[in-house]
Amino acid sequence: MIIIGGGAAGLSAALFASRAGAHVTLLEKNEKFGKKLYITGKGRCNLCNACDLDTFLKNVPRNPRFLYSALRFLSPDALQALMNELGCPTKVERGNRVFPVSDHASDVSKALLNALRGHALKLQVEVTGLETEDGHLKGVRVRDGNGARVIPCECAILATGGLSYPLTGASGDGLRYAQELGHTIIEPLPSLVPLEIQENWPKQLQGLSLKNVCLTAVVHDKIKYQEQGELLFTHFGISGPLTLTLSSVLARENWSDVNLSLDLKPALSLEQLDARLLREFQTSPCKALRNLLPALLPARMAELFPALCLVDGEKQAAQVSAAERGRIIAALKTLPMHVTGTRGMNEAVITSGGVSVREIVPSTMMSKKVSGLFFAGEMIDVDAFTGGFNLQIAFSTGALAGDSAARYLKEET
């Protein structure tokens, strides 16, 4: 058996294939295995999320049902137990996020590699394509220090990842191999990615983080996203947890159709805000508006907020008209923003798109088009929100593909 790609999915596939009795050859084009693992969770590796199956699937916006078999084969609980068994104990933190106790992502890949001693683990081997005959896999084309050749095999697992974080070697090679064999590739797009905003004011607030705000996205007069949490302003627009989740939910939308609004005070109604603002005005009637607003907003935002409401920030509170006060309150509750697009794959946490799940058997991860070819990880058209869900998908689909491939080999021989 040949496994192509030595990331989370490939390592998991190799481990479970070996446990099912197969001798594994794992091919990785990089200079080390698990390169993307090293940067996940800010270098701490958010392995998974300690939640039940229903909660997990609610965090998968695309093709969640496809994952039933994989998550039953290797659940979040089972993955934690596995890592403990392999000598990498885990801990659960805020939001049920699971990390290695050591807080070192490298310990995760080390644990998996130690469990694969005795198998052929080959680095800096470039796969250039797959050989088939009458709908059956027959070999893998490779190129390395020994030149170009074909390695004969009856079974292979493609676990080459998507296109996100190209510095880790992600290039979409596996998607190309799959397409050459007749598989449908759903266009790969950046997901869990910051957004570029048309307006200039978010860029003026670069580095400012807002907590407990509500971000709403409306597409063709329908609310497609509305969540409360944390948002970060950047030199190009917005980022932070709310933005990344939004980018995942709307990854397939035309961003020119998306209208965003920010509720800076979701805990207060319009009437409550009006009363609050009136109290501030009555307490300090001679104060300039821009000097009153820090009672409601961070100082940097308060400074530019009057201009956003088309109100003179130098006006004394007593001089602010009812109409102007209404504009301020409206902006506090529904501050509009317009998305011009997402940042690129180099800033995306995950790839949306990949090999169509309609062409993969969910109970085995085997291709419906090529016998003996299996898929695992980010290259499948399944992606999830932040919190450890995407790595769990990689480990679970890899585990199921590895076990299924080993069983396929036994049946074939």
pLDDT digits (tens, 9 = 90+) for 347-402: 999 999 999 999 999 999 999 999 999 999 999 999 999 999 999 999 999 999 99
pLDDT digits (tens, 9 = 90+) for 261-313: 999 999 999 999 999 999 999 999 899 999 999 999 999 999 999 999 999 99
Question: Can you tell me the distance from the alpha carbon of 2 to that of 120, in angstroms, rounded to the nearest whole number?
Answer: 9
126 neighbors 143 (Cβ within 8 angstroms): yes
Amino acid at 226: Q
> Is the pLDDT confidence value at 255 over 90?
yes
pLDDT value of position 392: 97
372 neighbors 155 (Cβ within 8 angstroms): yes
The answer for residues whose C-beta is within 8 angstroms of residue 272's C-beta and 6 or more apart is none
Question: Can you tell me the distance from the alpha carbon of 327 to that of 113, in angstroms, rounded to the nearest whole number?
Answer: 60
- DSSP labels, 29-43: SSSSS-TTGGGGGGG
Predicted model pTM: 0.93
Question: Can you tell me the distance from the alpha carbon of 405 to that of 399, in angstroms, rounded to the nearest whole number?
Answer: 10
Closest CA to 222 of 257, 264, 194: 257
Q: What secondary structure letter does DSSP report for 252?
A: T
Question: Can you tell me the distance from the alpha carbon of 220 to that of 90, in angstroms, rounded to the nearest whole number?
Answer: 44
Question: Can you tell me the distance from the alpha carbon of 398 to that of 404, in angstroms, rounded to the nearest whole number?
Answer: 10
pLDDT digits (tens, 9 = 90+) for 173-204: 999 999 999 999 999 999 999 999 999 999 99
pLDDT digits (tens, 9 = 90+) for 127-138: 999 999 999 999
